[in-house]
Structure 1
């Protein structure tokens, strides 16, 4: 949800319920991407996550709304944004209602940045906070990762390491509702993004076994993001999380990036402790509000 302010007054926004892949799909995608860019510039947080944008471009996600206010609806989840120039007109409330009218069963709304308008919408519709995702930041510092004898750090090799990484990612994030479900198509879609750089995808190997990874997302003018950090469940407690994060920090330093960013679940005590030891502090928060029907 991204709608600071807003009333119940009707507006002229069209909510036709069509998907991105239907008639005029390319134009619909362009409109939503332009809306997302405007909202992110004003709010400091993107209104839609990467998986939503992947499914938007592929036509898998359903889009409700137009260039003034739009929602990307996936199975059991929705993200929405109102253009900064059209806020205060009740578009956010109308869009939430449209999502509810067009879906059934429990639905979770992500409020990126947890803005006051999003909290007000959640309260108005009786949604309850069910997840809290912290965005943390830290100055980039370069220190050599502490590796066990025989362990090595290497860049991801597209087309070679795909299967090994997908297997490790699925096991490392077996309980994670988004990251753990990534498949080859999702990996290919991210590799096609302009920000992808295989040298920013850091893998930690022990012989022929992939035991940990650190995937970085570096975009011009933005902090270097620890996009995903995973450790094999078979090697928990060996200090591999710290080692691979340090390897990621070294890569960011090599690229001349001054600030690192990451997202971490608010109840992940072990990860919070690891990141705190490397200077990460809270910068923003994303909240998931769930409405049970």
Structure 2
């Protein structure tokens, strides 16, 4: 337990999983922040881990007495409202990654600082790991909190967006010889896909560590549709895939938005042009489904990918930043000012 702040806020650490009622309260908190800020404060994986008993995370809950409860507590317990939340991943790796959210009505009262302090304590208890914190949308409040804590940007993730009406009118790139494409079959293709995904993203800090449980959790989500999950094979061997996602109204604007969720190609199949052909198939699939806009995410440091996506009509539409205690680095690896 972290000592209450001047705002009478206390932060308590809870192991995984959260109780359903508490998890629902976290989702409501995140939804309120998203409506206020125009960007979801928590990414997909932390939301999936809220009630996952196998998740290697610590949940930090910031609570405060309800408005008007200034008198000492009587014989009945005082109800507290959830005013902030942070999740710290303490699994494999040399760092502990965190995401946090503060309710818009309780900002600038010390809640964010209390959560960040608790996250640092949590990270330090796990083999002395340093803390990395994602901030979605790169909002001024997040910058200010990070600066006050002495943290600087150590990584950037771009969101890029394409208006499908502006997509170049050229035929989809052809698949390599003898390569065929089919839909993903739940209950059959999980392990083969995960094996190729791990090889394709061996050096990616998040995507390359997707487990079977992570994949099954996504299959259980309302948005999952095997028709938008295409596998490329040659002689029965999986070479790569494109996985698309459709976001409902409200998540990325006033209309449904498609996403090129994952494009992965086995390293042994690199150089065949398969990645480009799969991306084209994904965009065509989303166009046929009636979507008008498509997003994707890519590292700011991946200049080759950014040039490729820009040629396809994508432009940067948002950025997520990771703050840490290291000396900040530019996408090319050179030192830069925070």
TM-score by length of 2: 0.79
Of residues 206, 218, 225 in structure 2, which corresponds to 1:197?
A: 225
Name the CA distance, whole Å, in 1 between partners of 2:159 and 2:185.
28
Name the CA distance, whole Å, in 1 between partners of 2:309 and 2:204.
19
2:267 aligned residue: 233
1:82 aligned residue: 102
Name the CA distance, whole Å, in 2 between partners of 1:277 and 1:209.
31
2:121 aligned residue: 101
1:246 aligned residue: 280
CA contact (8 A) 1:20 1:28 kept: no
CA contact (8 A) 1:135 1:264 kept: yes
Q: CA shift at 1:220, angstroms?
A: 2.0
- Higher RCO (Cα < 8 Å, 6 or more apart): 1
Q: CA shift at 1:102, angstroms?
A: 3.1
Q: Deviations over 1:216-271 (max 9, x none)?
A: 11122242111111111112222111111100001101110100001100111221
CA RMSD of aligned residues (A): 1.8
Q: CA shift at 1:94, angstroms?
A: 1.9
Distance 1:166 1:148, change over 3 A: same
Name the CA distance, whole Å, in 2 between partners of 1:247 and 1:145.
8
- The answer to whether structure 1 residue 214 and structure 2 residue 210 are counterparts is no
Name the CA distance, whole Å, in 1 between partners of 2:60 and 2:243.
32
Name the CA distance, whole Å, in 2 between partners of 1:252 and 1:145.
16
More displaced 10-residue stretch of structure 1: 244-253 or 158-167: 158-167
- Give 5+ residue unaligned stretches, structure 1: 1-8
Name the CA distance, whole Å, in 2 between partners of 1:127 and 1:44.
24
2:27 aligned residue: 33
Name the CA distance, whole Å, in 2 between partners of 1:165 and 1:266.
26
CA contact (8 A) 2:120 2:130 kept: no
- 3-state SS of the aligned residue for 2:192? helix
2:12 aligned residue: 16
Alignment of 1:1-293 (within 5 A): 10-21=6-17, 25-59=19-53, 60=55, 61-66=57-62, 67-75=82-90, 76-104=96-124, 105-140=129-164, 141=167, 143-221=171-249, 222-291=256-325
Q: Deviations over 1:8-59 (max 9, x none)?
A: x72233311123526xx11211111111111122222221222212221214
CA contact (8 A) 1:40 1:47 kept: yes
TM-score by length of 1: 0.91
Q: CA shift at 1:280, angstroms?
A: 0.5
CA contact (8 A) 1:128 1:289 kept: yes
CA contact (8 A) 2:11 2:114 kept: no
Q: CA shift at 1:72, angstroms?
A: 1.0
